[in-house]
Amino acid sequence: MIKQQNFTPYRNKVSGAGLKIIPLGGLGEVGRNMTLFEIEGKILICDMGLRMPGEDMPGIDYIIPNINYLKPPHQNFGSGVKDRKKSILGIVFTHGHYDHIGAFPYLIDKIWHPNLEIYASSLTRGIILKRQKDFSNQPPLNINEVRNGSKIKLGPFKIEFFRQNHNIPDNLGLFIETPVGNILHTSDFKFDPTPINDLPTDFQKLKTIADRKILLLLSDSTGAEEENHSLSEKTIEKNLEEIFKKVQGRIIAATFASLINRIQQIITLSEKYGRKVIIEGYSMKTNVEISKALGYIKSKRGTIIKTKEIQNYPDSKITVLCTGAQGEGSAVLMRIATKEHRFIRLKKGDSIILSSSVIPGNERTVQNLKDDILRQGCRVFHYKIMDIHAGGHAQKEELKEMLRIISPKFFLPIHGQYSMLAAHSELAKETGISEKNVVVAENGQIISLSPQRIFVEKSRVPSNYVMVDGLGIGDVGEVVLRDRQMLAKDGMFVIVVVVDKQTGKVKGSPDIISRGFVYLRESKELLKDTRKRVIEIVHRATGSGGAVNWSYIKDEIRNKVGQFFYTRTQRRPMILPVVIEV
């Protein structure tokens, strides 16, 4: 369900001279990461991510952060509510995953101003700019490229970028010097001793940073409930290779379009086992193109072929790399499984690799997808059977190691469901950080930091969901979503009543149109009773001969018929009464 957060209006100016950290997304959820750092009225933004909708949000494409704190939607929003757009000095991106960059094109035109500085690593920048081409009418973008060791200064913030292992190359952590103290933001990370496409973690560098005294550590919590150490990408490659070794038919490997390292592994293995690779899915194709252009994905000439060429090769020589491991309705794997794909149909002997963990909320969809595939005589390999997907995220032992190396005074777990943040805070206490110095916060809260203390302020900033569907941003509110849920669950029922203006009598029999509620032909009795009730409601209201309140009549029809349907069918369709006076 939609999380409705009540917040005290944030017109009271964010108090004190200390540093405020305001998470607009990513705390209490997986995805939609966006954090503000505010000091002396100056704001630094870290990441602008999106989140995939849950199964209970029909027709929604993405959920993005609410930026009303930065840019109130209405001019007269209330006295004292500021347009903080001009106070934003810059945006820094940690890495190119959509849960860190995906909301950017939807939000940037609302906060852009000529002095806004944007920073990202080479690959992250490439992905953002390429995606930007799909959004016309956007302000011209100049994204500064940063790399391991780059230092920048934005007003009161001095930022130093450092390399962190993850499952996408070019991932950067942030060391931020502020007048209040030094802050370390880990980005998403894991300590991978044998990464693919990347160097192992530079522990010496981390120690040097820690020597400069860290007041506050913000660390990735996604893996905080997982025991031990995350798998190395090398181990995953070995397990994937087991599949390549024994499988004879086609391999269809589905993963996230942004898991560049996984894509590389599958290309490399395909080359080793003489398979050609077909890349399917717009975002997957785009990311491969950018990563190849920037040198982050390597493939031999002729390995990647066009989809149409699939018939020129035997099944044992084909790998299809595609999107859709989460069972997303419009992604390639789903279209293949439901026979809606233009070129590719599943057949006996195919092996499908689902190389991603299941994002909370998508379990049922993924289960249905697996069943669909198995029914068509194919094999499915997924992360529960084999370790063919490492979370890109540090697990308990690595998180503790990070805490020990950095040994911060204060700790704020970020990136993850509430339970993950809570688990991470326990780890912090285990490594010796005292309880009062650890804060588990949620989206929209204002975390106040001074050299002496950290605490959550009473007032909050808006952080509820902003939903994007094919048509617009934020125009799907909770009401629209509730309607969609209702329609999806119990269907709809339209009653058209024609009333004689002179007499107030219903003319003829009310028309009924219904979808997804009951099978009309087999519900004659129900419909007859419904018509009778509707006529009664109208006549009761018009009987006295005085002025007629039609909206009252419509409400009556909606309520009474609704109750009647519920007693008879236990369903609550959406009821739309239409009254026409003639």
Least spacing, CB of residue 167 vs Zn ion, in Å = 7
Task: Give the C-alpha distances (Å, rounded to integers) separating 505 from 497, 529, 539, 557, 559.
Answer: 10, 18, 6, 15, 21
Question: Looking at beta carbons only, is 361 or 416 nearer to Zn ion?
Answer: 416
Confirm or reject binding of residue 38 to Zn ion (CB under 5 A): no
Are residues 39 and 182 in contact, defined by beta-carbon separation less than 8 angstroms? no
Confirm or reject binding of residue 198 to Zn ion (CB under 5 A): no
Question: Looking at beta carbons only, is 14 or 390 nearer to Zn ion?
Answer: 390
Question: Looking at beta carbons only, is 356 or 445 nearer to Zn ion?
Answer: 356
Can you name the residues that pair with 264 across neighbouring β-strands?
Answer: none
Confirm or reject binding of residue 389 to Zn ion (CB under 5 A): no
- Interaction with Zn ion in 272-311: which residues (CB under 5 A)? none
Confirm or reject binding of residue 97 to Zn ion (CB under 5 A): yes
Measured CA to CA, the distance from residue 250 to residue 252 in angstroms comes to 6
- Interaction with Zn ion in 527-546: which residues (CB under 5 A)? none
- Interface residue with Zn ion among 160, 170, 188, 469 (CB under 5 A) is 188
Q: Is the dihedral of CA 275, 280, 285, 287 positive or negative?
A: negative
Q: How many Cβ atoms are within 10 Å of 231's Cβ, its own excluded?
A: 18
Least spacing, CB of residue 376 vs Zn ion, in Å = 32
Residue among 99, 170, 220, 490 flagged as catalytic: 220
97 included as an active-site residue: no
Least spacing, CB of residue 121 vs Zn ion, in Å = 13
**For the CA atoms of 553, 554, 557, 562, what is the dihedral angle to 10 degrees?**
-140
Least spacing, CB of residue 271 vs Zn ion, in Å = 26
Question: Looking at beta carbons only, is 98 or 493 nearer to Zn ion?
Answer: 98
Confirm or reject binding of residue 350 to Zn ion (CB under 5 A): no
Q: Is the dihedral of CA 318, 322, 326, 327 positive or negative?
A: negative
Least spacing, CB of residue 243 vs Zn ion, in Å = 25
Are residues 196 and 264 in contact, defined by beta-carbon separation less than 8 angstroms? yes
Are residues 534 and 526 in contact, defined by beta-carbon separation less than 8 angstroms? no
Question: Looking at beta carbons only, is 226 or 457 nearer to Zn ion?
Answer: 226
Least spacing, CB of residue 373 vs Zn ion, in Å = 27
- Identify which range of 32-40, 81-89, 95-103, 555-563 contacts Zn ion by CB under 5 A: 95-103
List the 472-476 sheet strands across, edge first. 62-64, 466-469, 472-476
**Overall size of the chain counted in residues:** 582
Confirm or reject binding of residue 226 to Zn ion (CB under 5 A): no
Residue among 97, 185, 393, 424 flagged as catalytic: 393
Question: Looking at beta carbons only, is 263 or 506 nearer to Zn ion?
Answer: 263
Who's near 436: CB < 8 A, 6+ residues apart?
none
Q: Which residues bind Zn ion (CB under 5 A)?
A: 97, 188
**Catalytic positions, written as ranges:** 220, 393
